[in-house]
Structure 1
Amino acid sequence: MYDNVGRDGDQIAAVRYGIATDNDLLRWAGRDAEPFLARHPLPEQPLPAPDLSPYLHALAAAETPAQASAVTQCLLDAAAPVLEAVSEYLVAAARWRGQNRGAELGSPPQMLMRAASDSLSALALGHQADLAILRAEYDPTPPRPARPRAALGPASRPHRLAHRPPARPRAADPHLRRLLLSTRSFIARPTASGYDGIYVQLDGQPSAKLPLLLAAFQYRFEDDVEAMVQHLVDGVAVGWDELGTDLLAGAPPQLVTALTGGEQWPSRTLDHLITPDGSPPVRMTVTEQTAADQDVQWGYVLRFEGIEVISVAHADAGPVIGWDTNPRTRFSDHPAHWPAPSPLAISTPTARPPQTTRAAALPRPRTAARR
């Protein structure tokens, strides 16, 4: 009889299912890699741990939010180079021998790319938390006035975000992400009557969304519109908080740097929301019937021929940007540059599908700031 005494969960599962333990895998790999490591020796000692004593001592002595923030910001700046170096290695590991090309979601290359993004999340979240403390101290957000809304189903009520403070811009920092004011939007798939999409809380302006979506289609999703729709629209339980640089997996480093300024941040969903009555959050669906009442400014319908851009407050439809458009194109955020198709083209039974257009592209500098 097999005795579980003294064995860990990994060993017990290995015996039960007839598989190797994690330690077995590492031991076998270490044995087979010995000749390689003899030719390419690596440091045996771990990286030196930072001395946190000065930071902890200063934090204990801090008496105001400003003083505590000064300590936190110094630590984040000191830690950024190390975390960025780890992130760079994880990206290189994901791209080893081109294994990331065509890799499925959840595959090891995709897991490594996510780890690369998540390794920088500590910097971004720590910075964001510090700014929230300073915001409460120096510039508290006034209560948002109530506004009448049309009756909507529970799946499309953006007031479930009422207890989330609005995003605010943060100062530029070479090591940390920057934020823009929250611009709400949606991403949708086309339907017979219009579109069916999902709510996106941040970075909704065309200058931020279009380059990211175009690059994601051309590289991560390898020109597969349906795969992109399934990931961005169908695969979300509640909604998106923001879309991150994980969507740029597989894109050339020069393009990624041009679009992000060298920053990285993960995509985040709204599954963690706390509703006013304590009930679980529900899917925040956006359709052509509900968009105007859901306080979204922009919409992006992922069509076969390209991305239809809708300025929700001014039009029910919009021009289509072709999928082959260069992601480096500078797009305008002014609603006047995104007019709806003419009524004649919409009502004519023999009208062709919307033609791709670049009319909304303007020759103006694009800021590197986000959110």
Structure 2
Amino acid sequence: MSNYPSIIARPTPTGFHGRYVANDGQPTARVPQLQHLYHRAYRHDLDAMLAFLIDQHPAGWSQLGTDPTADCGWINPLPPIGDRGFRCYCHGDRHEPEALLTKETADPLWHEWIYVLRPGGITVTAADPDGDTWLEPVFVPWSNDARPRIGAA
């Protein structure tokens, strides 16, 4: 898949609850972006960050940005290439229904990465390249700037 779709989620006792993100889901882009949001935009308030990413945007995202105070609704036509703002599927010019993704509904064929946001950091899980299962998760602490090496030997 060329867009690297992913899931942003919060942990639950049996797995996770999250939302789809269509673009830029590779860890080299997503982990620093989530760390920026956690440290700078939300000043370590994980509950507020999860409320914004998951609860306030139930249809999911086309893309995530770095400034949650900016307009995040869908715009038709889309802004020029290079716009790195938040673009959700439930506000602005789109009004898609809620789409909750869970451990049971996540599909490694359609979701290449899962990012479960936890108090200590991010659990990153990658789809197996064959698209039929998930690889072993990697935990990245919020304070760690290192990029996860998913599937590395």
TM-score range, shorter chain: 0.7 to 0.9
After superposition, the Cα gap between the structure-2 partners of 1:281 and 1:248, relative to the gap in structure 1 and judged at 3 Å, is closer
Which stretches of structure 1, 4 residues or more, deviate above 6 A after TM superposition? Answer: none
Q: What do the CA deviations read for 1:46-97 (whole angstroms, capped 9, x no partner)?
A: xxxxxxxxxxxxxxxxxxxxxxxxxxxxxxxxxxxxxxxxxxxxxxxxxxxx
Match of 1:109 in 2: none
Is the CA contact 1:200–1:240 (under 8 Å) kept in the aligned structure 2? yes
1:234 equivalent in structure 2:
55
Change in CA separation of 1:204 and 1:248 when aligned onto 2, cut-off 3 Å? farther
The answer to whether structure 1 residue 265 and structure 2 residue 84 are counterparts is yes
Structure 2: which 5+ runs fail to align?
Answer: 71-81
Post-superposition Cα deviations, 1:187-223, rounded to whole Å, max 9, x if no partner, equal 0000000101000000000001000100110111111
Work out whether residues 19 and 100 of structure 2, in 8 Å CA contact, stay in contact via their aligned partners in 1: yes
**Alpha-carbon distance in 1 for matches of 2:67, 2:17:** 24
Q: In the alignment, which residue of structure 2 is the partner of 1:287?
A: 102
1:224 aligned to 24, 36, 45, which one?
45
How far 1:284 sits from its partner (Å)? 2.0
> Helix, strand or coil: the match of 1:246?
coil
Q: Give distance in 2, aligned partners of 1:294 and 1:232.
A: 23
How far the C-alpha of 1:264 sits from its partner, in A, is 5.5
Paired residue type of 1:290: T
Give the structure with the larger strand fraction. Answer: 2
> Are 1:185 and 2:6 an aligned pair?
yes
**Distance in 2, Cα, partners of 1:323 & 1:312:** 22
SS in structure 2 of the partner of residue 241 of structure 1:
strand
Does structure 1 residue 207 correspond to structure 2 residue 22?
A: no
Tell whether 2:142 aligns with 1:323: yes
Q: So what's the TM-score if we normalise by structure 2?
A: 0.77
CA 1:190/1:317 → structure 2, altered by over 3 Å: closer, same or farther?
A: farther
1:302 paired residue among 110, 117, 126: 117
Distance 2:66 2:14 in 1: 32
CA distance in structure 2 between the aligned counterparts of 1:317 and 1:247, rounded to whole angstroms: 31
CA distance in 2, matches of 1:305, 1:297: 23
**Structure ranking higher on relative contact order (CA contacts 8 Å, 6+ apart):** 2
Structure 1 residues 225 and 336: CA distance shift in structure 2, 3 A: same
Q: Under a length normalisation based on structure 1, what TM-score does the superposition of the two structures give?
A: 0.34
CA contact (8 A) 2:24 2:63 kept: yes
Q: Distance in 2 between matches of 1:235 and 1:335?
A: 30
- Which structure has greater helix proportion? 1
**Structure-2 separation of matches of 1:336 and 1:248:** 35
CA shift in 2, pair 1:229/1:316, >3 Å: farther
Deviation at 1:294, TM superposition (A): 6.4
Equivalent pair of 1:225/1:304 in contact (CA under 8 Å): yes
Structure-2 change in CA distance of 1:317 and 1:229 (3 Å): farther
Is the CA contact (8 Å cut-off) linking 1:186 and 1:299 kept in structure 2?
A: yes
Q: Which runs of 5+ in 1 are unaligned?
A: 1-165, 167-180, 250-262, 274-279, 340-371
Q: CA RMSD in A?
A: 2.6
- Deviation string 1:241-274 (CA, Å, 9 cap, x unpaired) is 000131599xxxxxxxxxxxxx66210001345x
* Percent of aligned positions that are identical: 31
Matched, 1:195 2:10: no
> Displacement, 1:335?
3.6
Secondary structure in structure 2 of the residue aligned to 1:304:
coil
Greater radius of gyration (CA): 1
Conserved in 2, the CA contact under 8 Å of 1:212 and 1:247?
no
Number of equivalent positions: 136
